[in-house]
Amino acid sequence: MTPQTRFRRMGWLAALGLCTLFYIGLHIKVHAVQSEVIGAERRIVALEERRILLETEFETRASQERLAMLNRVEFGYVAPGVGQFVEDERELSSFGTPRSANGPAPIRVAAASAGDAPPFPRLVSPLTGHPIDEELLEPEPARDNMSARASSTMRIPLAALAGNAGE
């Protein structure tokens, strides 16, 4: 290889290396500018949302002021005072009017005490509709270690449910 070709090759390699360095520098600069643009766009979106929020609040307060003015001027409404609140049900009921002669009867609520409890309802056969005899209800016999659990369950024979259905 001649020295002139060698210098030419080295010149091309140097030019290629210089172009690569400029490309990397330009790429980094473009990326930095792109990051700044994205940050600016995010700030613009945040400011736009803030502007919309403030605009909505301003319109709401303006309409509240207009409503308050209408209430004062047109209707004469004022905020309730302490004397307008009722203490209990009796004071509330004093605002009512007596029942008219043809008005409906008042709704009455009954309460039962523990001593007034009715006896347990009898079991009725779903097939016949007749009550099931008490002697047909027998406790399930205890098995192994499950005596506590088994003693609380009741077994109803199928014949008791059928009643007179077979006859």
Q: How far apart (Å, rounded) are the C-alpha atoms in residues 144 and 160?
A: 27
Q: How far apart (Å, rounded) are the C-alpha atoms in residues 148 and 142?
A: 8
Query: Model's pTM, two decimal places?
Result: 0.35
Q: Taking the mean position of all CA atoms in its chain, how far away is CA 111?
A: 35
Q: What pLDDT digit, counting tens, does each position of 73-131 carry? A: 777 777 778 888 888 888 888 888 877 888 887 777 766 666 655 566 677 777 777 87
Instruction: Give me the pLDDT at residue 115, please.
Output: 64
Residue 1 scores a pLDDT above 80? no
Host H or E run for residue 11: helix 3-70
Residue 153 scores a pLDDT above 70? no
